[in-house]
């Protein structure tokens, strides 16, 4: 097993990799105690079978400069292959300012190829590579050194089997003409906005039970402070305060540290110092907003009248079309998409691109009464009306 621990060694390997049609990549990281992932190990494999085709890159030793690796990730002549790429791509974007391009995600490709919903790497190894994974090192603390041979073997398996999986799935998508389907999905993974969280938008992830403008302003201000503090200090947002504490603060509107001390849900560390000051400032700023500056609730879906029978028919149609196409249902349309269609909305992603060809056109015809469904030899098929 080859472990690269110097910038010179990394540069030499990456130069070699840039002559290949693809590389398989995985990362090991920690995030439990930080806002941003701490990169602990990178695994890269080249096409082929030799012992020197798969390496571990250890960024925690010798103050290694990872720029050669970032250059490889940006080289558009080499396909970068990941499984469930989102967190890996986020690391490269945050740490190196680069998004691996072009990108091939085997989890998404497997969904397009009919392997089910969010199929795991271990399943693909077993079904495609005809091998088994030793998962004994799954819960390793990858920041600790030295790594054992078992840990290194485990880490390398995440990229060596990936070569066989990639070549199988890439060939399958070319054969079925579905490579463009994958490219539509990959567009989200390669969009920098996917990995950028602006503090002022953080409130949209907080679930609330009221649409009061003032309450929403308080949630917005508190969430923005929490996100900014977490980013600046590189701590998990839950270490600042959790969502339930945020909702409590927006409800009780404490005005001083004494009031904060009465909170049932606020962490002790957040009742004083910089966090307490930030909380009080956020609350005061939200309370001072004039009425015309308060956030406006999105009521576009509030009065939707979902036809439950039609929604059920759409679910049957989706299942039938997914089975017919050999593609995961979840990749075509979500439950919310179906309810929206049954309520008359026409802004669903299921009505564009390859999804429209597979499901969306028939879904619209079903909603408009142009087609119906019937059973035919154990299958559900559409019939013109």
Catalytic positions, written as ranges: 26, 28, 88, 154, 158
| Rounded CA separation 191/103 (Å) | 11
| Rounded CA separation 229/31 (Å) | 16
Buried b (16+ CB within 10 A) or exposed e, 130-157: eeebeeebeebebeeeebeeebbebbbb
Which residue shows structure tokens 């309450």?
A: 215
At CA 297, angle to CA 291 and CA 300, rounded to 5? 140
219: tokens are 């949630």
Question: 24 φ, ψ to 5°?
Answer: -100, 140
For 258-288, the three-class secondary structure string (H helix, E strand, C coil) is: HHHCCCCCCCHHHHCHHHHHHHHHHHHHHHC
End-to-end C-alpha distance for the chain, whole angstroms: 64
Distance of CA 139 to the CA centre of its chain: 21
Sign of torsion over alpha carbons 77, 82, 86, 89 = negative
> SS3 of 58, please?
coil
The residues near 51 (Cβ < 8 Å, ≥ 6 apart) are: 1, 2
């Amino acid at each position: 097993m080859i472990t690269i621990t110097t910038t010179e060694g990394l540069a030499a390997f990456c130069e070699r990799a840039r002559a290949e049609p693809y590389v398989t990549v995985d990362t090991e990281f920690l995030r439990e105690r930080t806002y941003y992932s701490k990169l602990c190990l990178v695994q890269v494999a080249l096409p082929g079978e030799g012992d020197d085709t798969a390496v571990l890159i250890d960024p925690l030793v010798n103050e290694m400069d990872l720029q050669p690796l970032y250059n490889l990730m940006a080289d558009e002549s080499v396909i970068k292959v990941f499984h469930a790429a989102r967190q890996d791509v986020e690391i490269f974007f945050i740490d190196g300012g680069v998004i691996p391009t072009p990108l091939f995600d085997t989890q998404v490709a497997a969904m397009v190829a009919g392997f089910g919903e969010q199929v795991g790497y271990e399943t693909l190894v077993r079904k495609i590579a005809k091998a088994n994974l030793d998962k004994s090192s799954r819960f390793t603390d990858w920041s600790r050194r030295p790594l054992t041979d078992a840990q290194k073997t485990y880490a390398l398996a995440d990229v060596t089997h990936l070569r066989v999986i990639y070549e199988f799935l890439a060939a399958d998508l070319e054969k079925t003409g579905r490579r463009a389907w994958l490219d539509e999905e990959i567009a989200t993974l390669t969009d920098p906005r996917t990995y950028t969280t602006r503090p002022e938008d953080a409130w949209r992830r907080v679930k609330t039970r009221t649409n009061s403008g003032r309450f929403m302003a308080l949630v917005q201000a508190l969430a923005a402070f929490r996100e900014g503090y977490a980013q600046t200090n590189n701590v998990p947002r839950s270490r600042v305060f959790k969502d339930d504490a945020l909702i409590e603060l927006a409800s009780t509107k404490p005005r001083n540290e004494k009031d904060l001390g009465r909170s049932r849900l606020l962490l002790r560390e957040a009742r004083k110092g910089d966090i307490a000051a930030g909380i009080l400032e956020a609350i005061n700023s939200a309370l001072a907003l004039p009425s015309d500056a308060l956030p406006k609730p999105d009521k576009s879906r509030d009065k939707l009248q979902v036809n439950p029978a039609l929604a059920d028919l759409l679910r049957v149609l989706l299942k039938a079309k997914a089975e017919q196409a050999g593609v995961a249902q979840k990749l075509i349309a979500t439950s919310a998409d179906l309810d929206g269609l049954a309520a008359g909305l026409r802004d669903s992603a299921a009505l564009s691109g390859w999804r429209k060809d597979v499901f969306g056109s028939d879904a619209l015809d079903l909603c408009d009464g142009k087609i119906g469904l019937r059973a035919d030899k154990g299958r559900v098929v559409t019939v013109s009306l």
